[in-house]
Each structure stands twice: as structure tokens, then as C-alpha cells.
Amino acid sequence: MLKTTLRASVATVSLLAATSAFADVTVYTAGPAGLIEQLAAGFTEETGIAIEFFQATTGNIMARIEAEAANPVVDVLISASWDTATDFAERGWLAPYTSPNAATVPDFLQTDTAVAQGVAALAIAWNPTSGTPRPTEWSDLTAPEFQGLVNLPDPAQSGSAFELVAALMATSGIELFDSLAANGAIVAGANAEALNPVLQGAKAAVFGAVDYIALNNMAAGESIEVIFPESGTVIAPRPMMILNWSDNQTDAQAFIDYVLSDAGQAIVAAQNLMPARADVAADRALIADLTILPIDAEAVYGARAETLDAFAGAFAQ
């Protein structure tokens, strides 16, 4: 999944154990902020190892790591894009590690240098008070009832949105996106920018919403429903990696172990992400409940420019 450059402000948060003046492990993580706060607190309580973390979008984290190249700081990186794990492995920046707690993580969610923290999926996020019929398929959002009422995240800004666009183009061509554009759908920026007008009632649905964000809004009482089309969608695993320049390899490994422990995966599930471990339950749809569209990552990203050009052309009409 391509590194995202979402237009969002960078937030930094530090959590230091009372027994230590300096952090033992530094974690850079793409959101949600509440997830890393709870994981860091639980890990420190269990192990006594202090955590300092920097939470931002994947794009801003990449920029920070590049800026710190001469004096790297980060020990553990958690990205919202699996493409980061592939990229860093190719650069030779990652230390191999397989957690004993990863035994029930599916093979496609781990490599010798990365393992998923949790998994998101893309969905239709629909406002039931919008006066529109409940959609069940992507193509339903091209109906006249949704004229001018649909937002899409920009696949040039969101890696997960790009993968959905690429997967749907592979199965149904550009026609679906031509129909959305002809029906007045709007490419509304990054994921939050696409969702907020639906929460506010100005729009009826998001085509390709990040599920856990919408589910968290639903849990907070917002008028929103998350719908996974039976025809299929894409998933967005969140890889965890230990950087090979880290001087805190043992403590970094302990943090990975904690995130994949029963306690850590329960925290992940409470954020409405799918746990990485197949044996951990969650009060939401899991991978086994979804139809996953196939993605040939090498081919998809090799044709990224062409896919984005075709998408932009549909909405420029």
C-alpha cells in the first residue's frame, strides 16, 4: 500500500514511566492516537519499560524519519500502509524478528521483518438519516437517489483508497468511476475529509471509507452505518517493524510481543480494528466475514501513475 500523505496536522505525545527520565523505546505510529496511548500505558505497566511515541500520518512519519537519517531515533515503526514495510525491507532498514505471539497471525499478515498490529478494511459509510436507500454494493452509489451526495477519498492521498480503486478497476474497468463522476460524486481529499460531510449530513455516503474510523464514530453515537459490499473490498494491514539501527532491540521486541499478546490485541479490537491474530475476537466484521478482492501489489504499484491518471480523467469530465 502506497505511503499516504494525508493533509493532517502532526501530533506528538510522550508517555514516560515514572521510574525513568528517558524512554527505553521510541515508537513512531500512524493513528489512531487513542490506540498507541493505551498500548504504551499497558506495556509500561506490565514491563516497567518506558515508551515515547510520535503519532502522525504515515506521510509525516516518513518525512521525519528521512529528516533524522543522520541521527535516527525511532526503534519501532507502525505504519498505516504495508507498502512502508516493503519499502523499508528493500532499503535494508529493518531487523528480522518473529514474535512468539504471532503464531496465529495469518501468513499474509507477517514477514520476517514486519507483522500486522491490526487490520482495517474499506467500506461504504452511509448516513441512515440522509433520505437515501441503504446501499449494499459499490454501484448502488451511482443511482439517481445519490446524485451529488457521495464523497470518495482521493487515491492520490490515501494508499488504501488507491488499492480499492485499482482493485475495482481490475474487476469492472473505469466505467464504475465514470458513473460515479456523472452522478456528481466528489473526490473530497483524504479519508477524514471525505467522511466528515457524511457525519454532518451534508452528504449521504463515502465510497471507500476506512472502516474503523466510521465504526468509532458510530460507537460515539453518530448517524453512520458501515457496509461491506458482497462483491468485495480491500484490506489495509498496519505493519509493525523494528528498525535495524535501534539500540533497544530487546525492549523493542518486547513491545511487539505486548501488542500481539491477549491484552494488546484486546486494545486493538477495542479501537474497532480487526486484530492481527486470528484467534482474537472482535465486535465487528473480521477478514473471514469479508470478500477480499485480489491485489497483485507489484503490478498495481507498477501501474500506479496510469491508474491515478484514469481515475482523475473520470472526475475531470
- Shared domain for 151 and 100, answered yes or no, is no
Query: In this predicted structure, what is the pLDDT of residue 23?
Result: 64
Is residue 89 within 8 Å of 56, Cβ to Cβ? no
Model confidence at 104: pLDDT above 60 = yes
Model confidence at 280: pLDDT above 80 = yes
- pLDDT tens track for 142-162: 999 999 999 999 998 888 899
The 3-state secondary structure of 153-197 reads CCCCCCHHHHHHHHHHHHHHCCHHHHHHHHCCCEECCCHHHHHHH
Task: Show Cβ contacts of residue 296 under 8 Å, excluding neighbours closer than 6 positions.
Answer: none
Report yes or no on 192 lying in a domain.
Answer: yes
- pLDDT tens track for 207-265: 999 999 999 999 999 999 999 999 999 999 999 999 999 999 999 999 999 999 999 99
- Shared domain for 228 and 215, answered yes or no, is yes
Residue 66 has phi, psi (to 5 degrees) of: -60, -40
- Shared domain for 272 and 308, answered yes or no, is no
- Shared domain for 248 and 295, answered yes or no, is no
268 beta partners: none
- Shared domain for 274 and 297, answered yes or no, is no
Report yes or no on 72 lying in a domain.
Answer: yes
Give the lowest-confidence range in 11-15, 34-38, 83-87: 11-15
Question: Span 95-121, mean pLDDT?
Answer: 97
- Shared domain for 99 and 247, answered yes or no, is yes
Report yes or no on 165 lying in a domain.
Answer: yes
Buried b (16+ CB within 10 A) or exposed e, 26-49: bbbbbbbeebbbbbbebbbeebeb
- Shared domain for 203 and 310, answered yes or no, is yes
Give the lowest-confidence range in 9-13, 89-93, 166-170, 305-309: 9-13
- Shared domain for 150 and 299, answered yes or no, is yes
**Average pLDDT of every residue of the chain:** 90
Report yes or no on 4 lying in a domain.
Answer: no
Report yes or no on 55 lying in a domain.
Answer: yes
Which CATH number fits the domain that encloses residue 125? Answer: 3.40.190.10
Query: In this predicted structure, what is the pLDDT of residue 14?
Result: 36
Residue 236 has phi, psi (to 5 degrees) of: -130, 85
Report yes or no on 6 lying in a domain.
Answer: no
Give the lowest-confidence range in 16-25, 40-49, 157-166, 271-280: 16-25
Model confidence at 16: pLDDT above 80 = no
Report yes or no on 216 lying in a domain.
Answer: yes
Task: For residue 32, say if its preceding peptide bond is cis, omega within 30 degrees of 0.
Answer: yes
β-strand pairing of 205-210 with 115-126:
antiparallel
Burial class (CB within 10 angstroms; exposed 0-12, middle 13-18, buried 19+) of 209: buried
212 is known to lie in a ligand binding site: yes
Q: Which domain holds residue 299?
A: 120-234+291-315
d(CA 239, CA 111): 10
- Shared domain for 106 and 127, answered yes or no, is no
- Shared domain for 148 and 276, answered yes or no, is no
> What CA–CA distances, in Å, run from 198 to 129, 151, 206?
10, 8, 7
Report yes or no on 5 lying in a domain.
Answer: no
- Shared domain for 135 and 194, answered yes or no, is yes
Q: Which of 38, 304, 23 is nearest to 158 (CA)?
A: 304
Specify the number of domains making up the chain: 2
- Shared domain for 44 and 54, answered yes or no, is yes
